[in-house]
Amino acid sequence: MGYTPLAGTRAPVRVWTDPYGIEPQAAQQLRNIGALPWVQGVAVMPDVHFGKGATVGSVIAMRQAVSPAAVGVDIGCGMSAVRTSLTAADLPDDLVPLRSAIEAAIPVGFAKRNDPVDPRRVRGLEQAGWDAFWRRFGELDRKVAQLEHRAQQQMGTLGGGNHFIEVCVEQGGPDDGQVWLMLHSGSRNIGKELAERHMAVARGLPHNAHLPDRDLAVFLTGTPEMDAFRRDLFWAQEYARRNREVMLALLCGVVRDQFPHVTYGEPISSHHNYVAEETYDGVDVLVTRKGAIRAGRGDLGIIPGSMGTGSYIVRGKGNPDAYCSASHGAGRRMSRGQAKRTYSTADLVRQTAGVECRKDAGVVDEIPGAYKDITKVMAQQDDLVEVVAQLKQVVCVKG
């Protein structure tokens, strides 16, 4: 499709959707971002929608600066997926036992583990680096010191909201019917706590006093505040990655228990709320992807739709105009509150027909109708990624 420039901004803001279709609050956020003196450029993904400070679905390249709000409160949130040797024909007609087994193995919602995960007891989990990772907790912001045990208990847990675990079936192509496992989660409460504390620090810094939106406050390179943020940020990004690795290994174990002959391919994993150091046109920048994935040439990524519409495995095209990025999903078209006012549990049952999942009032805000049309979102970014596989869920676990 290509991009459309957003008019009236100091830095270039390139939009991979109809700019006139962006909700007014989100459009104003994008103009606020484009006005910041540190911003090199902004790429706006087709799943863009209003967020705290920075829009969800925005890729912001800054020189010698970074805004915590441009990362998001769920630092390191992302997706993992793995292709199995199973086909749809191997799955039973009744998928309730499989869903129940997944929910028994992986705590969801507000649930946490009584005992922290012992990596040595999880088959298929990378064993390296765990002790060093947890030792670094003591280096984090001292105000979260009391949360270490909770962070350990939440390692390997899903959370709620739009986080999910799915069993999917590939549709079309030479591998039609192949079964995939997929999940979406992040850094749990500890990432949120760290993010909110650093956002508060940034808002109080003198150079942020006259910003159009104080939630866009930035840290500057070479300052102790930036050093502290990067330390905590990169730890939380690693927490999120390890959290998904634990859950994916446990999920593979659940499926192995029911299908002993199953084998697995190489997992795919990618953050979509994070910071990376990258270079474009010879300029070193700090790139924040908030609700966006890296889509460098050849990079494999995952773009989910909703709990009733399916997902895509994609390969990046490395488009520098988008800072080698793509959308992280379909993106919400209405708030959670509006979704609850608009839809009923009967609507949820209809829209998730054929999917073994929760169909109660507690997840109406995640109904497919609350999200943008994933097929249109994919069409709007055909210059950013190519589709490797299209998947449709048959089991969806939510908190």
The token pair that represents 135 in the structure block: 């030792």
Q: Cα 258 to chain center, whole Å?
A: 29
Distance separating the N- and C-terminal Cα atoms of the chain: 36
- Indicate the residue type of 145: A
Number of H helices and number of E strands within the chain?
Answer: 9, 17
> What order of strands is seen across the sheet that includes strand 39-49?
4-5, 13-15, 39-49, 56-62, 283-290, 273-280
> What secondary structure letter does DSSP report for 389?
E
In angstroms, rounded to a whole number, what is the distance separating the alpha carbons of residues 131 and 14? 43
Question: Does the annotation mark 163 as catalytic?
Answer: no
- Contact indicator for 186, 243 with CB cutoff of 8 Å: yes
Tokens of 142: 């001292």
Of 331, 360, 369, 391, which is closest to residue 167 (Cα–Cα)? 391
Residue 123 in contact with residue 253, Cβ under 8 Å?
A: yes
Q: What is the DSSP letter of 360?
A: S
The SS3 assignment for 252 reads helix
Among 163, 271, 272, 328, the one annotated catalytic: 328
Positions marked active-site: 328
